[in-house]
């Protein structure tokens, strides 16, 4: 199935290549999960335990081509992203609106800012102006380190890039303005503890 962006470019999903030998070397404690899976599991735990209601936002897609190989089934052949997506997750916790973006990198010393789109930063600024809790979760997959960064602490790095400065945030810079989220079992990445620390 071909999925296209609003500008017509074809969407190419990232498919990390891992050999069988690499898969065996993954630490069982970390389970080799992606950040998205870790957060989805964490949010499911929060929901089941009535701690918070936070979900991953679905990306709106417009279907333009459908094939009917059988009368009883349909196969989507071509689709477009209707609008640029905003952030990955939103919901409510303790009466406050939560909105955050989650990003993952294999880099070990810096995080490339081109992982973000300008409209995402604009959206987070708008949510912050309305009193929402806005933050970014960044995973350095190779290091097995995950950081919680308040949006107001991340935004200066973006502005620095717009002003002609470096196009990435060093790991050290990020550590100075962020809280590290430790891996756990249930919940997997307990970011609510950090929200409590900063906002309640």
12 has binding-site annotation: no
Beta-carbon count within 10 A of 63 CB: 13
145 has binding-site annotation: no
Rounded Cα distance, 109 and 143, in Å:
10
155 has binding-site annotation: no
Nearest to 110 by CA among 56, 170, 52: 170
Cis peptide preceding 42, ω within 30 of 0: no
Beta-carbon count within 10 A of 174 CB: 22
101 has binding-site annotation: yes
The token pair at 33 is: 């999960």
Nearest to 141 by CA among 33, 40, 39: 33
Exposure letters 33-51 (e unless 16+ CB within 10 A, then b): bebeebbbbbbebbeeeee
Rounded Cα distance, 100 and 122, in Å:
13
Rounded Cα distance, 121 and 35, in Å:
20
Residue set of the binding site for Mg(2+) = 86, 88, 101, 120
Give the residue ranges of the annotated binding site.
86, 88, 101, 120
């Amino acid at each position: 199935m071909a999925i296209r962006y609003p500008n017509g470019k074809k969407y190419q999903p990232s498919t990390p290549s891992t050999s069988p030998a690499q898969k065996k070397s993954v630490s069982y404690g970390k389970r080799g999960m992606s950040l998205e899976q870790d957060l989805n599991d964490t949010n499911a735990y929060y929901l089941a335990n009535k701690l918070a209601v936070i979900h991953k936002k679905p990306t709106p897609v417009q279907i333009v081509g459908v094939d009917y190989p059988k009368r009883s089934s349909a196969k989507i052949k071509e689709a477009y992203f209707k609008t640029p997506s905003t952030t990955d997750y939103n919901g409510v916790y303790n009466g406050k609106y939560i909105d955050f973006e989650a990003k993952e990198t294999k880099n070990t010393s810096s995080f490339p800012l081109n992982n973000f789109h300008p409209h995402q930063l604009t959206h987070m600024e708008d949510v912050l102006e309305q009193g929402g809790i806005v933050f970014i979760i960044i995973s350095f997959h190779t290091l097995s380190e995950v950081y919680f960064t308040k949006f107001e602490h991340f935004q200066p790095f973006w502005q620095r890039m717009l002003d002609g400065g470096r196009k990435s945030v060093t790991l050290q810079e990020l550590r100075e303005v962020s809280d590290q989220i430790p891996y756990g079992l249930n919940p997997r990445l307990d970011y609510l503890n950090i929200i409590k620390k900063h906002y309640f």
